[in-house]
Chain A
Amino acid sequence: GEDVEQSLFLSVREGDSSVINCTYTDSSSTYLYWYKQEPGAGLQLLTYIFSNMDMKQDQRLTVLLNKKDKHLSLRIADTQTGDSAIYFCAVDGGSQGNLIFGKGTKLSVKP
C-alpha cells in the first residue's frame, strides 16, 4: 500500500527558513497536503498542492512537488517560535477519500 515517509525532527533558529521533506510511494495521488498539529490539538490544514503543480506559495509557506522523485517539501520562511509543532505530510488515498499520513516531523524553533 501507499507509504509516506518524513524525517522525525527538525530544529531551526527563529528567523531562519525551515524545510520539511516528505517522500511517498503512490504516484496516483491527486492531492498532497501539509497539516500542523500543536500539542493536545487536532490537525490544522496548512496548505495543499494538486499533483499537476510543481510549486505553490501561500504567504510564508512554499510547497514544492517533484512527481518524478515522489518528493514533497514544505518551506516555512522567517520561522517563528509559534511555528513549533508537528508537521504531517499526507496524500489522498484514492476512491475511499481517506488521507495517508507520514509519522510527522517535530519542528523546534529556538529563539
Chain B
Amino acid sequence: ETGVTQSPTHLIKTRGQQVTLRCSSQSGHNTVSWYQQALGQGPQFIFQYYREEENGRGNFPPRFSGLQFPNYSSELNVNALELDDSALYLCASSTGTEGDEQFFGPGTRLTVL
C-alpha cells in the first residue's frame, strides 16, 4: 500500500510568483486536506476536497485554490506569493468517514524570497 506522497520536496519562489504543489492520496482514500505549517507553529487547515469538490475551507484568502482529480490526487495553487507564505505545506488523505484517521504526507517546504 502506497502512502501519501507530495511533490516537490522543496521549492524556492519569489514574491508575486505562482506555485503549484501536488499530493497523491493513499490508495482507497477519496478525501484530501491541505494544511499550512509555519515555522514553530502547528498546522493550519487550508481546505479539504471530497470526491473532486471543495468540502470545507479555513481562513485563507482566495489566492489559495485547489483541485482534486478523478484519481483523488490533488493540487494546491497559490497565486501572488507573499513572504508569509513561506511554510511547510502538508497534505493528508482519508476515507472521508467521520473520525477516520488522516494520513499525512512528508510535506513540501516552500520558501518565498
B33 to chain A, nearest CB (A): 6
Q: B56 contacts A88, CB within 8 Å?
A: no
Q: B56 contacts A103, CB within 8 Å?
A: no
Most chain B C-beta atoms within 10 Å of own C-beta, residue among A31, A42, A92, A95 = A42
Taken together as a complex, chains A and B put the C-alpha atoms of A80 and B56 apart, in Å, by 39
Q: A31 contacts B99, CB within 8 Å?
A: yes
Q: B42 contacts A88, CB within 8 Å?
A: yes
The total of Cβ contacts below 8 Å across the A-B interface reads 66
Q: With A30-B99, A97-B31 in contact, is A103–B45 under 8 Å at CB? A: no
Contact of B104 among A30, A31, A44 (CB under 8 A): A44
B68 to chain A, nearest CB (A): 14
- Please give, as numbers and ranges, the residues of chain B lying within 8 Å of A102 by CB-CB distance: 42
> Interface size of B by Cβ–Cβ distance < 8 Å?
29
Q: A98 contacts B58, CB within 8 Å?
A: yes
Q: B48 contacts A97, CB within 8 Å?
A: yes
- Please give, as numbers and ranges, the residues of chain A lying within 8 Å of B33 by CB-CB distance: 97-99
Nearest B residue to A106, CB-CB: B40
Q: B56 contacts A98, CB within 8 Å?
A: yes
Taken together as a complex, chains A and B put the C-alpha atoms of A7 and B47 apart, in Å, by 27
Nearest B residue to A44, CB-CB: B104
Taken together as a complex, chains A and B put the C-alpha atoms of A30 and B97 apart, in Å, by 13
Q: Tell whether A101 is near chain B: CB-to-CB under 8 Å.
A: yes
Q: B45 contacts A93, CB within 8 Å?
A: yes
Query: What are some 21 contacts across the A-B interface (CB < 8 A)?
Result: A41-B106, A41-B107, A42-B104, A42-B107, A43-B43, A43-B90, A45-B101, A45-B102, A50-B99, A88-B43, A97-B33, A97-B50, A97-B55, A97-B96, A97-B98, A98-B33, A99-B33, A99-B43, A99-B45, A103-B42, A104-B41
Q: Which B positions have Cβ atoms within 8 angstroms of A? A: 4, 31, 33, 35, 40-45, 48, 50, 55-58, 90, 92, 94, 96, 98-99, 101-107
Q: Which A positions have Cβ atoms within 8 angstroms of B? A: 4, 30-31, 35, 40-45, 48, 50, 88, 90, 92-93, 95-104
